[in-house]
Structures are given as C-alpha cells and as structure tokens.
Amino acid sequence: MKSKMKRYLVLEDGTIYQGQAFGATRVSEGELVFTTGMTGYQEAITDDSYASQILVFTNPLIGNYGVSLADSEDIQSNCAGVVCRQLARVIDSWRSTATLDQFLKQQDIPGISGVDTRAIAQKLRRSGAMKAQLVDDVPTQMSRQKSAPFALAIKAQTQPYMIPGEGYRIVVINYGTKQSILRELIKRNCNIVVVPATYTAAQILSFKPDGVLLSNGPGDPQDFPDTIATIQNLQQQTVLFGICLGHQLFALANGAQTFKMKFGHRGFNHPVKEIATGRSLFTSQNHGYAVEPASLENMELIETYVELNDDTVEGLRHKKYPAASVQFHPDASPGPHDAVEVFDDFISMIDTHKEEQLAKKK
C-alpha cells in the first residue's frame, strides 16, 4: 500500500503539527481559524468570507458525503487551506460528483489530515487566530514576526450580472456574496442585479432598485473605505439591508466602530436573541470582526439582535432611514433555519417604504 505523503502545519508561534497531505501540492499561507460546524464542509470551503484563511474543522470526520456542484457557494474557492482530524476514505451520497480530495486538487487548495484539531482549536481560543503555513518540506519553525494583513484572494467582479425575476428589483453589492443569499432572494421571486463592490451610489441607483443588499465577504471592514460614502448615500434614497461584512460596513457608515475578535464566530450553533421579542435563535455565523457595542451610544442606530454567549452586536436598525443589518447568516447554508424570515423582514421594509413614498405623493 502506498504511504501517504507527509505535510506540516506550521504556526507563527513556532508550533508544528505533522499530518498527511491531501488536496493540492503547494505551500500555502493564511490566517488560521476554526469552525465548529458538523456538516457543510464544502459550503465553508467555497464561502468567500474564508478568503486567505486556513480553515480548521473541529468535527473529527469530513469528506464522508463527497462534493456536489450544487452545494458550492462560489464556483472558485478562495480558502487558503483545509485542516481536519480524519479525511473519509469512503463516500456515500448519490449527489456526490467527486471526493473532497479531488475537489481540493481541482480548486488548488492544500489540505492536511491526521492532526489534533481539538488541540489546535483550543490553542486558537487561548491565543487568538494567527498566521500559519501548510508545507511539505520538514520545517524548522515559522517566523514569529507579525506580517501585514493578507491580501484578499477575491477576484474582482468587473461587470454586473442579472438573475431575472418578476418581483422586487434588488441590487446586491458583492463583497464576496454566498450563493445561498441569492437563492433566498430567488425564492421570493426578486429581480436581482449583482454589482461589484466598487460601484458608486449613482451607478447602483441607476438600476432603480426597490432595495439594496450589502453582502457578506472577507477581511477587515475598515479595509473598504470607498464604500462608506456609497452606503451613506444609498440609505437616504432606498431600502438597505446588510449581512455579515455588510452589517459591519453599515455600522461604520453610521459612525460606529468595529474591532477584531480574538478567534471569531465560525459555525452553525451560535445563539442569538431578538431584543424586541426576547425570542432566541440558533444561527450560522462566519466572522472575525464585530461592531463595538460602546460605539453605538448616541448614534442613529438601534441594536436589534445580541449574541447570547458574548454579547456581540448581532443586528442593527437605523432610527431614521429604512435600513437594517444582521451579523449572522439568515441564509444558513448549511445550518439552522431559525432566522430565514429575516429576508421576509427585508421585503416588508420595502413594502412599508413604498407605501410611505406613495402617501407623500398624495
């Protein structure tokens, strides 16, 4: 039997883990983060919010149901690497078109198995997310010197594209949007236009949108200064709704602040409370930055949802404009569907805004 090739996960604090190689054969570098999701490895790997990050799966076994094109959140993954305890040797799903190993080779993403992912997750919880490398040569240790933030691997969308529908015209600003968000809008028969993050307010408003959605995406929200003025302009003229990174950008556009979390929220079991009703939801989340609660004081923003484990700001609404946001993923692909009605709330905001605009004309 052919022996598996060795691969090493090298952390910037000098820790080295030895395991077995799978996926692409190349050196990879990125921010090391972990997710607690028990399913949905393909959706996570193809989620552009993980761009330039090496993803540790805390669930012991991944790859057991293979991969299917229908489950990808993007056609090309921008994840920097995959770390798991055990890679399934046998897959069992009628939907599968390839193994995870084959998929990662096609996507040019290296993986490592046979390492103690529980110990890695505990280290990241203690020390915080850190820089790491996947290498095939025997390493000494990685430089402990902090480097500049990793350049985002997202390939820029240069032209808008359309997903036809007969309902509301929704413009989605693409910072790294998941296909599951678009699917939820399609279910509501929306006429969708997806535009690059570089589009101005004037360009977006030229589509005559009923509403604008600020998508999820990777990285530090403060790395998107050019979009702040766009959001400020849009929220005064149309209905606005943000998800994940879009939530953070919405907060920044209204004077709040954001901060880098120690190890972030990544998984499908995060409890969130809707403040107005006291109702609790389990949510899917994937973010390393959050809105600073103290920065909301004396702002035109109202907190609508809060994370029950650490009091993270999970939702906002503008006091004056028809604009709101959530930090979690209401599309939850995969994950609990407790919060999917947030998309209906977005549609209701549009209906209310239209009624108010019609009343003003009378």
Say whether 329 is catalytic: yes
Is 214 labeled as ligand-binding?
A: no
Say whether 190 is catalytic: no
Active-site residue among 71, 74, 331, 338? 331
Query: Would you state the pLDDT for residue 341?
Result: 96
Query: Would you state the pLDDT for residue 140?
Result: 66
Active-site residue among 244, 247, 270, 318? 244
Peptide bond into 336 cis (omega under 30): no
Is 49 labeled as ligand-binding?
A: yes
Is 248 labeled as ligand-binding?
A: yes
Domain ranges of the chain: 6-135, 161-361
Is 245 labeled as ligand-binding?
A: yes
Query: Would you state the pLDDT for residue 142?
Result: 67
Arithmetic mean of pLDDT, 31-48: 93
Arithmetic mean of pLDDT, 194-211: 96
Say whether 244 is catalytic: yes
Same fold flag, 6-135 and 161-361: no
- CATH class label, 161-361: alpha beta
Is 17 labeled as ligand-binding?
A: no
Give residue 310's pLDDT band: very low, low, confident or very high (50, 70, 90): very high
Is 286 labeled as ligand-binding?
A: yes
User: Is pLDDT above 70 for 330?
Assistant: yes
Q: Which residue has the higher pLDDT, 151 or 274?
A: 274
pTM for this predicted structure: 0.91
Lowest-pLDDT range, 66-80, 143-157, 209-223, 258-272?
A: 143-157
102 alpha-carbon distance from chain centroid: 24
User: By percentage, how much of the chain surpasses pLDDT 70?
Assistant: 94
Active-site residue among 74, 318, 329, 338? 329
Give residue 360's pLDDT band: very low, low, confident or very high (50, 70, 90): confident
CATH fold of the domain at 6-135: Glucose Oxidase; domain 1 (3.50.30)
